[in-house]
Structure 1
Amino acid sequence: MSATPTRRLIAILVLAPVLATLALWAFAWPAARTAPHDLPLGVAGPPAATAQLEKQLERREGAFEIHHYAGEAAARDAVEDRTVYGAVVVTPQGPELLTASAAGPAVAPFLQQTVTRQAAAEGTQVRTVDVVATPASDPRGAAFSAAVLPLALAGIAAGVVVTVLGLRGVRAVTALLGASALVGVAAAGIAHSWLGVLTGDWWTEAAVLGLSTLAVSGAVAGLAALVGTAGMGIAGGVVMLLGNPFSGATSAPRMLPEPAGAIGQWLPPGAGTTLLRSVSYFDGAAATGPALTLAWWAALGLGAVLLGSALRARKAGSEPAAEGRDLATVG
């Protein structure tokens, strides 16, 4: 057996379990450690009435980030503005829990279970109000969560195809922009018009879906333009092994173990998920941060595509000149 096939065999035997272990860690670890981590939660009512409630919540060290509000109206506004995931309002009739199931499928049930358990220990009942509910066609948010992986795959596929076909410079950028725009329109047509999973402005949702795809495809094609075909694997691996499981699509970023939740929001799948929730269910509240994150990914990716093309053209132009000087020297 020659040395080259032997090295390839060893590489396969080493890489296969390493990749499998990495994938299992990336997907299973956040799922197994799903719990609140400084989850923003509002508390509203007279200070004397809310003091005991706050003490009970603070017993779960590091679970909640308490925000104080004067009354139910202010707490409701905070939920709708995505400042908090929910709020407990202390009223003369008993505690009232404001939730937003559209903010994350795992958060509202957790808050309801936690607050109800505490109230039951005190012999009271909790009235729950879903301020921003998921659509009736997707009550548990499962269809919304399922849309993250296809978008990431579409972005990776677009970047790979552009690279494999040898498109460079402006042509590559045009192809990436066009493909991402079409993906956004198609995805909005399915998720909004057909399934009824999204309920916001149709064109805004299509733009967000397209920008999410462009952020991934630009990263894949851009890194490939700078470092070669290995760049496709690197960018695609980051998106699939970190971006998707750390996105918080099936729960919420603050329900993931740190630093997974923070890392996920800096990657296209996580930023795209958060932005899509904002424009579809919350009238664009808290959309600036994730929108800028996606815009930076898209801009850097397309810039890398143009830079890689320019460097390649410069290198190709310098080679004939060098050959000409060599021939002149020989002559």
Structure 2
Amino acid sequence: MTSPILQFGTSRFLQAHADLFLSQAMAQGQDVGPITVVQSSGDATRATRLSGLVGAYPVRVEGVQNGTEIRQTITVTSIARTLSTALNWADVVQTFTNDTKIVLSNTGDSGFTPQPADSADSFDQSMSYPAKLTLLLRARLAAGGAPIQIMPMELIVDNGAVLKRRVLELAQGDAALIRYIEQDVIWVNSLVDRIVSQPLEPAGAVAEPYALWAIEDQPRLTLPCVHPAVQVVKSLAQIEALKLFVLNLGHTYLADNWLAQQGPDSILVRDLMADPDTVAALRTMLQTEVRPAFAAAGLATEFDAYVPTTLDRFANPFLDHRIADIAQNHQQKITRRIAAMCDWAAEQGDTSPKPTLSAIIARNKDLT
């Protein structure tokens, strides 16, 4: 069986997001998938998860949507094969070169971070994801250079453009590869959103009902599937700003307070949202420090509608969303969510003080 979709990343988010959407599309008879999943980290402790993805795994969807309680289990069957870059690099190259039409990735907050091995001419497991992708594109070009679509799902603004720039940096000196990257590789910006609160073993996850995969339109775009959660938009800017600077920033704000107080690992987001003082402080920060930026950008109405939905999602009574999980890669999240919001605010002309957010940036800068 050929696999037209190659996915880098095994996260529970992907299991309850793209993999689930593609599974539902396949069940409806759409000519999409199946997926080959590649573990790019080489983490041997996740071997059980990798093997558990093939065949079928459950996703429990639990929450309240439009006033209706939802609790259902969906069986995901879109993954046909799993590989590891550490163990099966030759198979990854073969699949990428011969079968792949669309590449998905969600390699975590540090997946794009440059590594010392990135400049090597041959594969090294310690390479970053962009460096591994550059090697794969070089192999595909050598095999004939069929067009391919790259769709990163990492939570980075203009993620497709960012990944393309990094791959072009790594391809310097190879004119043919640069031409291929520019002309025959379609780099897609997208934004994903779904709270996936916990893993199931050996594979699967628990997620909220809300889900979004917003894809920025461009010439030659191929949708991975047709699904209610998949939306093609003219520009991601408004959606990105709301997602990054309200929902994700709110999560990181809560995580920073939890870290500062050295709270127990068992604390859940919904536990924090049950505390009136915590909710009041969160609301005040959003209204006095974040809202002025959205008002300056002409998005005050959108902000005012998005905040209540976000707080309801945080308080979902069915999701065991550990604040300790959100606190992982905390430094990168502060840079991409809080510091980036302050920079964005200045770009919109908002010069209002942001004492809480500035204090978080300064405190964590001192810790690095």
Q: Same fold (TM over 0.5)?
A: no
Name the TM tier (shorter chain): under 0.3
Bigger Cα Rg: 1
Output the TM-score relative to the length of structure 1.
0.27
1 or 2, which has the higher strand percentage?
2
